[in-house]
Amino acid sequence: MPIDAALYAKDFPSLQFLVPEAGILELIISNKGRLNSATEAMHRDLAQVWRSVDIDEAVRVVVVRGEGANFSSGGDFDMIDRMIDDEATLIRVWKEASDLVYNLINCSKPVVSAIRGSAVGAGLAIALLADVSVAAENAKILDGHTKLGVAAGDHAVIIWPLLCGLAKARYHLLTNKPLSGAEAERIGLVAVAVPDAQVLDTAFEIARTLSAGSATAMRFTKHALNNWLRLAGPSFDTSLALEFLGFRLADVREGLAAAREKRRAVFKPTTQE
């Protein structure tokens, strides 16, 4: 039975889907002119699509990439505005952010990410939670949360310490110093780094290997390995709650203004009486 890309496009209209080969679903994050930033609709779809993939017997492996030269620049500024100003939006996006992580962890099908250009925030969650991450050597990887003025939530606390160790996780998540794909491979944050022109070919080569293997062996191994992430679930839940608390504080307004104006944010010291 072939993969029905049209059905995925109907159910998740903010995303693009291709079926380049039998058993391989290609998921494309696309927001032209905005470095593939995640709109509210896209954030919702990225959270829910993994449930459909999980139960689709035609899908053996997923390759996820951004359209063009970038993976994703994180959350769309307009969405962040609404999260700051509207309580209902904040609560809904909080739930979606949790679902995005847990649904991807619990998806039984292997996922390969092809990371080119910028990979930031919510987009980076998909890139690093994939079972095999392939990055361009010159890719720019940045969590971005503390730079915005909120805690490093999303995926960061559940997987960065496991992939690259607590010292490197602390350093990059607190300072927001970006990593190249080559450096990310060196510290273990991504699986493979290759020249930019080879990223997609490498990702599909890995996808073919996974697709040709025993489906049950792949699924069972993934499930067992991801128990390491499930053990970190309480830490992730805490980090996500603290991130969304930050959207109710003053710092995020300055952080968002600074991002829009392409300047350094100036955060006021916290006073305690």
Mean pLDDT, to the nearest integer, of 215-243? 97
At 54, the pLDDT band (50, 70, 90 cuts) reads: very high
At 273, the pLDDT band (50, 70, 90 cuts) reads: very low
> Which residue intervals of 35-191 are DSSP H helices?
40-55, 77-85, 87-106, 121-129, 145-148, 156-164, 166-175, 181-187
CA distances from 252 to 31, 37, 239, 247, 266 (A): 23, 18, 16, 6, 11
CA distances from 138 to 113, 144, 173, 177 (A): 16, 18, 20, 15
pLDDT in tens, 170-215: 999 999 999 999 999 999 999 999 999 999 999 999 999 999 999 9
For position 16, what pLDDT does the model report?
97
Q: How many CA atoms lie within 13 A of 243 on its CB side?
A: 30
pLDDT at 4 over 70: yes
User: Mean pLDDT score of the chain, rounded to an integer?
Assistant: 95
pLDDT in tens, 144-168: 999 999 999 889 999 999 999 999 9
Among 49, 160, 182, 140, CA closest to 103? 49
pLDDT at 35 over 90: no
* DSSP single-letter state for residue 72: B
